[in-house]
Amino acid sequence: MDAPSIADDPMMSLVIELQRQQPVAGPYGTRHEVPFHGTATSPHWDGEWLVSGVDHITRGTQGTALIDVHVTVTDGTTTILYRGHGRGSADGIREGVTFETDAAAFAWLNDTLAVGVGAVDGATLTVDLYAVT
């Protein structure tokens, strides 16, 4: 069996605005609930689609953030949901992503795994998703 590889070009790119809230101290680190909204572009559709969701982040004592993200991407008719789990540090964000949709045109996403690579600049987060092939 061949090892998986990562596609050269992003299958989806997101630009989102983070709505930071007061963090809460917990037994495993500082907990952040960060709602967000923005846009997504993709070579698989025309124009920008709306993005909304929430990052559930726990920042441990060593500074690494454990990320659990829930995202909705929609054009108002078609909806794509995705979940990402990953890590964030000074080097950026890395996450594994799975998708759900009932749209026939995007049913292939239900069997797709992607890797997200992102960076935060102020309150703006950019994330490129690359399909694992």
| Per-residue model confidence as pLDDT tens digits over 107-124 | 999 999 999 999 999 999
Which one of 2.40.160.20, 1.10.10.10, 3.30.300.30, 2.60.120.920 gives the CATH number of domain 16-123?
2.40.160.20
- What confidence score (pLDDT) does residue 84 get? 97
- To the question of pTM greater than 0.75 for the whole model, the response is yes
- What confidence score (pLDDT) does residue 11 get? 98
Radius of gyration of the chain (CA): 15
Q: Is the separation of the CB atoms in 85 and 68 below 8 Å?
A: yes
pLDDT for 63-93, tens place per residue? 789 999 999 999 999 999 999 999 998 889 9
Q: Is the separation of the CB atoms in 130 and 12 below 8 Å?
A: no
Share of the chain above pLDDT 90, in %: 81
What one-character-per-residue DSSP string does 13-70 give?
EEEEEE-----EEETTEEEEEEEEEEEEE-TTSSS-EEEEEEEEEEE-TTSPEEEEEE
Q: Where are the domains of the chain?
A: 16-123
